[in-house]
Amino acid sequence: MRYSKLFLPTIKEVPAEAEVISHKLMLRAGMIRKLASGLYSYLPLGLRSLKKVEGIIRQEMNAAGAQEVLLPMVQPAELWQESGRWEHYGKELLRMKDRHERDYCLGPTHEEVICALVRHEVRSYRDLPLNLYQIQTKFRDEIRPRFGLMRSREFIMKDAYSFDVDDEALDKTYQAMYRAYCRIFDRCGLNFRPVEADTGSIGGHASHEFMVIADTGEDIIACCGSCDYSANVELAPALSDEPGQDAPDEAMRRVHTPGKRSVEEVTGYLGISPKCLVKTLVFTSDKGPIVALVRGDHNINEVKLKRLLRAERLELADNLTVSSVTGGEAGFIGPVGLKGRVRVIGDNALKGIKNFVTGANESDWHLAGVNWGRDLAWPEFSDIRLITKSDPCPRCKGGIEFKRGIEVGHVFKLGTKYSEALDVTYLDEAGVARPIVMGCYGIGVGRTVAAAIEQNHDENGIIFPRPIAPFECVISVVDVTDEAMMSAGERLYGDLLESGFDVLLDDRRERPGVKFKDADLTGIPLRITIGRRIKEEGRVELKLRTQGKGGATSPLLDDAAAEAAVIFKAMDHMGSALK
């Protein structure tokens, strides 16, 4: 590609709304442009990178035995009603009607559609296993689209769905997908970690998320400092034992806490430790209203609570519901004297607590000296809080550390949830119809590129890992009006193209400083500069994007293509920083 013909609008200033570095750099480097909230146009440079990621995904998915298909993006409501998700998926599902007033949605995921396909085509165990994937645009009406391609509403996903005869066969497919994912993210040059993840309301089946380690990640990973345990905090069990307190029972009493609502305000005002306070949260769910209790210094884990309830939907209740369940207002609510019958779940850490403080369900008042069994019924206890640094590693009892991560991929054992709902069966060897055992496997293509930039950049711009760089090499001709320089550039450009490199010839009538800046900004791994030395010594200069001022080599023009090949080969054998 010739730079003079390339649609590559780089910019110096970035819109204020771009918060994270990948979003800023993708805008500045002319990779993407925003159309509307969460909707982006991919420009040539951005699309090239996405296509490289897709190419790696395709190779690895095909090698692992999956086959590519392409399913419709517009999906009929009937299918979603069959799976029960038309009601439960919530507002991320963009629904619409056609001219006949029939309901449809834009696919946020494709379990329903793939089941509709497979149930008509797969008859017997002989047709299994089957693993189908697609690389396609998804639409999710995210509540908070942000960070550019990281969390957009329209985005490209690779999604695969596997079909097996039983759990054992699914285990094998799952392992193969897991390994393929490791290879994919390795080849993309990412520092990533597979972590145990929540399986939602399905429960019981395994799931792993592939997390790119980055400070800007929206997910938090709990890692063990001693063993290789790592899990999404949403999932990690909180196991610390709380010894029962053996203080004598105090009398329950009302304490005045005017305007003190938060844990800090109440405990500060009363001069007690947050460990002595019971925090009360009211949720609404498809299983009815729920009251959840956690210790003042702990935080509720909604994912655990949702799983415990086997709920499809769980959200914090609005003020009206809070007061109808408790009789109090937010900040002053507590579990004593709740209105009517409501399920109350206490966190395990509250089992041994005595003489605690909690809201009195009356504005500006709390209760102190509260005890289970005497002042209120014992609640149901379960692990419903977020793990903390003081909890032991669930595997080896070592210390827990927290890291931030960007979820780029997700593998999931679905079991028979969808095959049962959508009647996807096969006949076994005895001719008995059985539900097919499924798995699903997603990768966000745009998010992978954004995550790579989060991990690989400096103050001058992107430092692309070579396998996903839009171009592998740029030839910067210092003065295009100089015939010797330009003809050397053309010659080298031809040589490199012939050797199969993705090369950009910077043939613009621009100052060399501008060219070098743009080459740095766009993160092209290797720059070959053709300047005055071509005339004096017949030499060019090769410089890696990862190198500072020093470290450049200056081979003869005739050797430059071969030297580039050697450099790339060396890069392929090195760590992610040089890939």
Evaluate whether 250 touches 369 at the Cβ level (below 8 Å).
yes
CB of 107 to ligand ATP, least distance (A): 12
User: For residue 412, what are the contacts with CB-CB under 8 A and spacing of at least 6?
Assistant: 199, 205, 206, 207, 439, 440, 441
C-alpha distance from residue 21 to each of 324, 421, 452, 511 (Å) = 45, 43, 11, 27
Compute φ and ψ for 357, nearest 5 degrees: -105, 140
Rounded Cα gap, residues 60 and 533, in angstroms: 43
Q: How far is the CB of 447 from ligand ATP (least distance, A)?
A: 4
Could you tell me which stretch among 151-159, 180-188, 492-500, 509-517 binds ligand ATP (CB under 6 A)?
A: 151-159
Residues 106-145 that bind ligand ATP (CB under 6 A): 109, 140, 142
Residue 380 has φ and ψ, to the nearest 5°, of -85, 130
Tell me whether residue 137 or residue 226 sits nearer to ligand ATP (CB atom): 137
Q: Which residues, at least 6 apart from 559, have a Cβ–Cβ distance to it below 8 Å?
A: none
Window 401-460: residues binding ligand ATP (CB under 6 A) = 407-410, 442-444, 446-447
DSSP character at residue 423: T
Shortest CB 279 distance to ligand ATP, Å:
25
Site string for ligand ATP, 314-343 (x = CB under 6 A): ------------------------------
Q: Rounded to a whole number, what is the distance in angstroms from the first to the last CA of the chain?
A: 22
**Residue 219 or 520 with smaller CB distance to ligand ATP:** 219
Supply the minimum distance, in Å, between the C-beta of residue 436 and ligand ATP: 21
Which C-beta is closer to ligand ATP: that of 23 or that of 24? 23
Beta pairing class for 219-224 and 400-415? antiparallel
Write down the least CB distance from residue 408 to ligand ATP, Å. 5
Distance CA 463, CA 454 (A): 10
Please state the closest distance from residue 274 (CB atom) to ligand ATP, in A: 29
Token pair belonging to 319: 């003020």
| Distance of alpha carbon 52 from alpha carbon 162, whole angstroms | 24
* CA atoms of 325 and 283, how far apart (whole Å): 10
Size of the site for ligand ATP (CB under 6 A): 16
Binding status of residue 193 toward ligand ATP by CB under 6 A: no
Q: Which is nearer to ligand ATP, 410 or 527 (CB)?
A: 410
CB of 190 to ligand ATP, least distance (A): 12
Residue closer to ligand ATP by CB (options 198, 518) is 198
Q: How far is the CB of 109 from ligand ATP (least distance, A)?
A: 6
Among 53, 66, 157, 544, binds ligand ATP (CB under 6 A): 157
Q: Cα dist. 353→346, 370, 523 in Å?
A: 11, 9, 57
Nearer to ligand ATP, 218 or 375 (CB): 218
Of the two residues 202 and 270, which places its CB atom closer to ligand ATP in the complex? 202
| Residue (406 or 478) nearer to ligand ATP, CB | 406
Burial label, 97 (beta-carbon count in 10 A; 0-12, 13-18, 19+): exposed
CB 94 within 8 A of CB 109: no
Residues lying near ligand ATP in the complex (CB under 6 A): 109, 140, 142, 151-152, 155, 157, 407-410, 442-444, 446-447
